[in-house]
């Protein structure tokens, strides 16, 4: 796909968001308060209406005993059964530890250019690393990973700018270096010059 076609696809997708919802799906025993806290932040960041779904996805079908972890790709596939005509994007927030077979763990996974993404809060907590609980740091990490995975759903790839939300993160220290917004280069892909009001989505 050439640059002009990609710009067209991305802007059509983002314009659609004005009429649809970004839905948050709780997965497993994730704290309901986390989703309530995320909702206004995501609405402010993406300028789209955000809805916390009243249902909950039990992730046990994706548990693999040999890893003692949950396969994120299987969760993404199951999430599609929750999509409705009102869905722009669906972001699952999970309390469990996620993985894909080629990696030890993942903070999240998304369907590139697709409707679903999932973020795991499990490894974003300071307590996992023997450090005191830091609720604000935890909240910021979840937000950054949410923006990152949702960026993939609008076809953004990983960015070389370590401050960009689309920079890859293989450790929480890298997440802490990032901002929750896109760099100018990634923003330009999502919102070509002259398209105007779409910029605030990220």
Annotated catalytic residues are 149
Residues 6+ apart with CB under 8 A from 25: 53, 55, 56, 57, 79, 82, 90, 91, 92, 93
Compute the distance between CA of residue 158 and CA of residue 75 in angstroms, rounded to an integer: 22
What would the two tokens of residue 176 be?
């802490």
Compute the distance between CA of residue 27 and CA of residue 101 in angstroms, rounded to an integer: 20
């Amino acid at each position: 796909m050439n640059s002009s076609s990609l710009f067209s696809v991305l802007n059509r997708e983002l314009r659609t968001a004005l009429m649809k919802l970004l839905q948050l799906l709780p997965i497993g025993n994730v704290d309901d308060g986390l989703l309530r806290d995320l909702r206004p932040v995501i609405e402010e960041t993406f300028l789209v209406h955000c809805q916390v779904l009243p249902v909950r996805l039990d992730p046990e079908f994706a548990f693999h005993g040999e890893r003692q972890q949950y396969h994120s790709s299987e969760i993404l596939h199951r999430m599609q059964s929750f999509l409705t005509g009102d869905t722009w994007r669906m972001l699952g927030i999970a309390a469990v530890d996620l993985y894909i077979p080629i990696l030890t763990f993942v903070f999240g996974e998304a369907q590139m250019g697709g409707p679903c993404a999932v973020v795991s809060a499990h490894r974003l907590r300071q307590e996992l690393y023997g450090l005191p609980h830091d609720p604000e740091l935890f909240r910021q990490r979840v937000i950054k990973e949410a923006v990152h995975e949702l960026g993939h759903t609008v076809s953004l790839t990983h960015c070389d700018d370590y401050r960009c939300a689309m920079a890859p993160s293989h450790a929480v220290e890298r997440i802490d270096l990032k901002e929750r917004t896109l760099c100018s280069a990634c923003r330009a892909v999502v919102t070509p010059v002259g398209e105007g009001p779409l910029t605030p989505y990220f």
